[in-house]
């Protein structure tokens, strides 16, 4: 019998089998990645085929919290219980609530293809990811280069250190700096500019580990040197009125001990001590890996820096290493020193100067 005829019965059987599958099974890989963990668990109990697809999606979610929007995979590790990952919507940068998606696919076939490219040594480029997220606004995230007569890209700004092919700045003594300025939408240079250090996404290897007392925490998955950029605190930018409304809801949900918010209020102060700018960033529902950074009463090993950009009104809150950080060490910073609640949430930082409760103040 000719070789081609040997394969015809198998192909016919496969086609026949596919025709018997319900429409939901046939397109399950497109639908299920949009579901929450609870929805995924409920639908996986309906049949064996959906259960297998759900397990595959869950595995993909544990392998990378960032949906392949960062330069490295950022996995979830939980040796304590069956809570395999934390569910939230991912954004690599700040966004308005109106820009925040209602749902986001996570664990699809596209993610599995991206996983293969990561292991093959071809990591996703953040500017390409931003272009997908921002659509027509992508020029703000990836500024064009101004072309010179030679045809090579040249900087369209006169900022210091904005040479093509730069390796970036070294930030030492950041605890005394607090504020820095980078190139932004008002400049003609691109992400390769050395004055855009914090705009290239997460460049260090990180992992998210579950602790029995503190919950999820962000850990270094490599040696990190003092002054090295870690990540920004990304989330929804809120008005003060909306921040206060949400915080009231979060406090009510947290009263039973089953909820933890990630609403961060940043106040920039004048020399007189008065606040001149207030930024409310809520990463509770939509954010990045910075939402997993826990508090430490001793100040932790990270320092916060407000980063301003040319042509941009609002600064971004970024984290840098305040000292050398060992591989496997948890990344922490101080949430503040004010404690207005007599019965605040218990602190499990474990430092020698632990106050016993987490910082709290009026939103």
Residues 111, 33 contacting (CB under 8 angstroms): yes
Q: What per-residue confidence (pLDDT) applies to 256? A: 74
Can you tell me the mean pLDDT for 329-349?
79
Q: In this structure, are residues 265 and 363 in contact, taking their beta carbons and an 8 Å threshold?
A: yes
pLDDT on residue 71 = 95
337-346 per-position pLDDT tens digit: 765 555 667 8
Query: pLDDT tens for residues 225-254?
Result: 999 999 999 999 999 999 999 999 998 888
In sequence order, which residues have a C-beta less than 8 Å from that of residue 302 and are 6 or more positions away?
A: 230, 293, 319, 320, 321, 322, 331, 332, 333
Integer Cα distance of 230 and 224 in angstroms: 9
DSSP sequence for 43-72: HHTS-HHHHHHHHHHHHHHHH-TTTT-SSS
Domain boundaries, the chain: 67-333
Model pTM? Answer: 0.78
Residues 276, 179: Cα–Cα separation, whole Å: 14
Q: What is the CATH number of domain 67-333?
A: 2.170.270.10
Beta bridge partners of 320: 229, 303
Question: What whole-number distance in Å separates Cα of residue 308 and Cα of residue 314?
Answer: 7
């Amino acid at each position: 019998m000719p070789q081609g005829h040997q394969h015809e019965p198998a192909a016919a059987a496969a086609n026949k089998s596919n025709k018997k599958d319900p429409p939901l099974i046939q397109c399950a890989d497109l639908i299920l990645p949009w579901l929450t963990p609870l929805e995924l668990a409920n639908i996986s109990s309906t049949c064996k085929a959906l259960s297998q697809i759900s397990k595959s999606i869950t595995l993909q979610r544990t392998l990378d919290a960032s949906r392949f929007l960062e330069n490295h995979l950022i996995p979830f590790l939980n040796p304590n219980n069956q809570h395999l990952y934390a569910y939230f919507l991912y954004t690599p940068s700040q966004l308005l609530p109106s820009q925040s998606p209602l749902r986001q696919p996570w664990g699809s076939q596209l993610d599995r293809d991206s996983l293969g490219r990561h292991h093959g040594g071809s990591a996703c480029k953040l500017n390409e990811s931003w272009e997908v997220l921002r659509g027509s606004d992508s020029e703000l995230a990836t500024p064009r280069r101004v072309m010179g007569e030679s045809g090579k890209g040249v900087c369209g700004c006169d900022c210091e250190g904005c040479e093509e092919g730069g390796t970036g700045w070294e930030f030492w003594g950041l605890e005394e700096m607090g504020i820095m300025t980078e190139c932004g939408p008002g400049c003609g240079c691109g992400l390769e500019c050395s004055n855009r250090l914090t705009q290239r996404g997460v460049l260090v290897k990180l992992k998210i580990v579950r602790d029995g007392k503190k919950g999820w925490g962000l850990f270094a998955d490599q040696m990190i040197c003092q002054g090295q950029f870690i990540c920004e605190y990304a989330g929804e930018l809120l008005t003060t009125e909306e921040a206060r409304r949400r915080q009231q809801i979060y406090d009510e949900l947290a009263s039973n001990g089953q909820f933890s918010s990630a609403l961060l209020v940043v106040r920039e102060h004048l020399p007189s001590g008065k606040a001149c700018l207030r930024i409310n960033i809520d990463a509770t529902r939509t954010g990045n890996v910075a939402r997993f950074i826990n508090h430490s009463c001793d100040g932790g090993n990270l320092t916060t820096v407000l980063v301003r950009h040319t042509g941009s009104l609002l600064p971004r809150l970024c984290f840098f290493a305040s000292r050398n950080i060992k591989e496997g060490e948890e990344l922490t910073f101080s949430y503040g020193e004010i404690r207005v609640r007599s019965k605040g949430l218990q602190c499990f930082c474990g430092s020698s100067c632990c106050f016993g409760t987490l910082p709290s103040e009026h939103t």
